[in-house]
Chains A and B, each alone.
Chain A
């Protein structure tokens, strides 16, 4: 913990960053902290409790535009950062990234290459609970699945916390706000809520870091992160790990396999 504070402080003192995005102690769990100078870095914490995906702030223009940013990033945040690079949203030279090494030490990741290497070398944190839930849902009949999701999604009141918490949802005008045509019912109704989630998850295909922030953010506790988690798995099963360039839906292989097209 002290290590990160020292490093972040150093960056300020050397004049290498203008803002450091990290965590501080919060009411119950660590919460995001924005250190704007060396002193403020002394509140930083970084441990396994720090699960919120801080990469979400890297596309927030009012926070980071024109600034050189330091950030402490969880495994999933690093995945998001790597993807944001693919999508032309970040500049290598204005970003200093710190991850947690396997022995829980602060590890500076100085380039996109190093981030990619880290992700290659580090196994993703297991998601036993989610995998179990998905298994349960998979084992349901189609009608049961419909009942399950229409019940869950009937509760959604469209606060869009799932969208706000997601680092990949950085569109300035989200599909739900497009009204010519009105693709998605903008009001809360089971179907409109489903349409929103289907869109969100389709848009996440091959881009999602699987951090689960959407589900954590949901104030009503709808397990929408299972949808993205399932999508990530489907992508992996069908198309392997994402390619360097483009997106799973913007690229293809002539030999892609399906079994349902007549």
Chain B
């Protein structure tokens, strides 16, 4: 038999001004199973809590109902108090007499009646509460970081520096990502490589970081603290243990005319290559699609010249599996291929280039060693046009979002151009200038005011070639839509940032969600920006949405902090408000019939198949089982289950039913 204690709070006068608290307590005492019912001025105060604790001890209460404010406010307070008095904290419930009653109704009998009903409901619910224990999940303290750009690098270093093992997986032959391609960075104009490469080296040398380049996540199973990751190590055709990185192979490779990805097609590379001189690891791989040996069966020059015999053409892809406790996804972004815009002539005119290509031109390590030259004829462009929002904020083209970084890098590009081509003339066509960020607005103003960049507010309608010049036709909306026509030598498109190739596939492998543009979805847009819906998988950088370097780094450290926080305990403790599949006597084992439709209803992949075996080890039945490590307690499965074989602790069918009946049958 239940012994429930009801504790009615006046909340000063917040409740008692409109609710007759004494009467509520008195009426509650008449409910069957209520052992003690009292009212007090401030239940959450020390004396109030002591009152509850003493009643638990003296009267041997089996449940406590605190009729006070919103449980969203003080439920932890009172549950803790109960726990301190030896009552299981989940035997304590709150009913909301303040926000849902006294504050929203006028003083009167009806309001007091409602308060009594609210108490009655929770008393009936509490009678059916069961003691629950926090769920403990063991944790493998090893993190998997996917993507070796600045986000992945930062996250890996933070986690590794906290003393935890990190596996960093990068799909390209070198880490560094987009940041390594950049020339200078806004708003300080310091050299990107100069600040990045030390970090890259640190990753490679860190004792806690295992780096797998030219590798991809193949499969991810399991759940928070207990993932099993299968990683595909793509065959590099070069044995990294033997290779010294001397570079003879690529200097002798006869296939030399492959557009360099690192230089965005503005330079060339060989079939055996390292993406760039500062690559980490600085050991080449063979690009099988372009290597003559792989395509035609002949050549092997690299093998002949390699002093250490490191070339191994027959090595297959390898697979390794790792036990992982948490995953940080840092797969970055891609820029929209501007052939998306036939009107700007990208691909048709060599001198229409993307912002990322401009970065390579401006970079000291780029194909022109930092000199701004036209790809078509190698001359210095005297007049240059930058088109912002090339794709971004264009719902008609299916990209309604702002790519966020373009305003800033376009200003930077224009500035770099002016610094390098002193007699040059630059124009920026823009929709709005979005320069929110520390020193950002000042930076743009500098471009306009100090470096004389011409900003034209308006869209470009068309770019076409005429007599070796690129004619840029647009309008200036600030001059009332006046048509503008510029004869440019070069056009740079600030093309939109889009989700990286294969983002969708990767999200599906990891069971995380993504938005319509294939950017990965955070668990909450405000309060859980680095978490995903799948516990234990975190996000950072531009795989979530386009963002600049400081923001990426901040987010990467945030994700790392989440991982470190998770790893700070050997077990994960979770609220026991989770679903449970029932167990019944004898051979039926459970009323679950194993239709597994709940599996598709669960947003967290928390439903697994459990095979029930007899003593001979034969499977007699397969039923659903909830992984308490993954279940978040939404209860969608509970109301979906036809036979009511699955129930949720803390909001069980019986409890909810009793709560509803209590108010109606009173």
Listed in ascending order, the chain A residues whose CB lies under 8 Å from chain B are: 87-89, 170-175, 178, 180-181, 183, 203, 245-247, 249-251
Closest to A247 in B: B597
B591 in contact (CB, < 8 A): yes
B52 in contact (CB, < 8 A): no
Listed in ascending order, the chain B residues whose CB lies under 8 Å from chain A are: 584, 588, 591, 593-601, 622, 640, 642-645, 653-654, 657-658
Complex contact B644–A183 (CB within 8 A): yes
Q: What is the minimal beta-carbon distance from B594 to any residue of chain A, in angstroms?
A: 6
Shortest Cβ-Cβ A-B pairs, 10 listed: A246-B600, A250-B601, A181-B657, A87-B595, A173-B591, A171-B643, A250-B600, A203-B642, A247-B597, A250-B597
Complex contact B597–A171 (CB within 8 A): no
Q: In whole angstroms, how far apart are the Cα atoms of A223 and B441 in the complex?
A: 73
With a 10 A CB-CB cut-off, give which of A172, A175, A246, A251 has the most chain B CB atoms: A172
Residues of A close to B644: CB separation below 8 A: 175, 178, 183
Q: What is the minimal beta-carbon distance from B513 to any residue of chain A, in angstroms?
A: 11
Residues of A close to B642: CB separation below 8 A: 171, 175, 203
Closest to A200 in B: B642
Complex contact A88–B595 (CB within 8 A): yes
Complex contact A87–B596 (CB within 8 A): yes
Complex contact A171–B654 (CB within 8 A): no
With a 10 A CB-CB cut-off, give which of B588, B599, B600, B601 has the most chain A CB atoms: B600
Residues of B close to A246: CB separation below 8 A: 597, 599-601
| Interface residue SS majority, chain A | loop
With a 10 A CB-CB cut-off, give which of B595, B640, B645, B654 has the most chain A CB atoms: B595
Checking B594, B597, B601, B643 against A175 with a beta-carbon cut-off of 8 angstroms, the contacting residue is B643
Q: Quick one: given A87-B595, A87-B597, A170-B593, are A250 and B654 in contact (CB under 8 Å)?
A: no
Closest to A59 in B: B593
Q: Quick one: given A87-B595, A173-B643, A203-B642, are A245 and B600 in contact (CB under 8 Å)?
A: yes
Residues of A close to B654: CB separation below 8 A: 180-181
Further pairs besides A180-B653, A247-B601: 20, Cβ < 8 Å: A87-B595, A87-B597, A88-B595, A88-B596, A88-B622, A89-B594, A170-B593, A171-B591, A171-B593, A171-B642, A172-B588, A173-B645, A175-B642, A178-B643, A181-B658, A183-B653, A245-B600, A249-B640, A250-B599, A250-B640
Residues of B close to A247: CB separation below 8 A: 597, 600-601
With a 10 A CB-CB cut-off, give which of B596, B597, B600, B654 has the most chain A CB atoms: B597
Closest to B622 in A: A88
Q: What is the minimal beta-carbon distance from B457 to any residue of chain A, in angstroms?
A: 36
Q: Pick 13 A–B contacts, CB within 8 A, sort by A.
A: A87-B595, A88-B596, A89-B595, A171-B591, A172-B588, A172-B593, A173-B584, A173-B588, A173-B591, A175-B642, A181-B657, A183-B653, A247-B600
Residues of A close to B588: CB separation below 8 A: 172-173
Residues of A close to B657: CB separation below 8 A: 181, 183
Residues of B close to A178: CB separation below 8 A: 643-644
Q: In whole angstroms, how far apart are the Cα atoms of A88 and B601 in the complex?
A: 15
Closest to A246 in B: B600
Q: In whole angstroms, how far apart are the Cα atoms of A53 and B591 in the complex?
A: 25
Closest to A243 in B: B600
Residues of B close to A251: CB separation below 8 A: 600-601
Residues of B close to A203: CB separation below 8 A: 642
Q: In whole angstroms, how far apart are the Cα atoms of A245 and B654 in the complex?
A: 31
Residues of A close to B591: CB separation below 8 A: 171-173
Q: In whole angstroms, how far apart are the Cα atoms of A178 and B600 in the complex?
A: 24
Complex contact B601–A172 (CB within 8 A): no
Q: What is the minimal beta-carbon distance from B660 to any residue of chain A, in angstroms?
A: 9
Q: In whole angstroms, how far apart are the Cα atoms of A94 and B591 in the complex?
A: 25
Residues of A close to B645: CB separation below 8 A: 173
Q: In whole angstroms, how far apart are the Cα atoms of A173 and B644 in the complex?
A: 9
Residues of B close to A175: CB separation below 8 A: 642-644
Residues of B close to A89: CB separation below 8 A: 593-595
Q: In whole angstroms, how far apart are the Cα atoms of A191 and B482 in the complex?
A: 74
Closest to B590 in A: A172
Complex contact A172–B596 (CB within 8 A): no
Complex contact A181–B622 (CB within 8 A): no
Residues of B close to A250: CB separation below 8 A: 597-601, 640
Q: In whole angstroms, how far apart are the Cα atoms of A249 and B598 in the complex?
A: 10
With a 10 A CB-CB cut-off, give which of A175, A181, A183, A246 has the most chain B CB atoms: A181
Q: In whole angstroms, how far apart are the Cα atoms of A89 and B597 in the complex?
A: 12
Q: In whole angstroms, how far apart are the Cα atoms of A175 and B642 in the complex?
A: 7
Q: In whole angstroms, how far apart are the Cα atoms of A26 and B404 in the complex?
A: 75
Q: In whole angstroms, how far apart are the Cα atoms of A78 and B644 in the complex?
A: 27
Closest to B637 in A: A250
Closest to A203 in B: B642
Q: In whole angstroms, how far apart are the Cα atoms of A250 and B653 in the complex?
A: 19
Q: What is the minimal beta-carbon distance from B621 to any residue of chain A, in angstroms?
A: 9
Q: What is the minimal beta-carbon distance from A147 to any residue of chain B, in angstroms?
A: 25
Closest to A83 in B: B595
Residues of B close to A172: CB separation below 8 A: 588, 591, 593, 643
Q: In whole angstroms, how far apart are the Cα atoms of A171 and B590 in the complex?
A: 11
Residues of A close to B622: CB separation below 8 A: 88
Q: What is the minimal beta-carbon distance from B606 to any residue of chain A, in angstroms?
A: 14
Closest to B644 in A: A178
Closest to A84 in B: B595
Q: In whole angstroms, how far apart are the Cα atoms of A180 and B645 in the complex?
A: 11
Q: In whole angstroms, how far apart are the Cα atoms of A203 and B645 in the complex?
A: 14
Q: What is the minimal beta-carbon distance from A246 to any residue of chain B, in angstroms?
A: 3
Residues of B close to A170: CB separation below 8 A: 593
Residues of A close to B601: CB separation below 8 A: 246-247, 249-251
Residues of B close to A249: CB separation below 8 A: 597, 601, 640
Q: What is the minimal beta-carbon distance from A254 to any residue of chain B, in angstroms?
A: 9
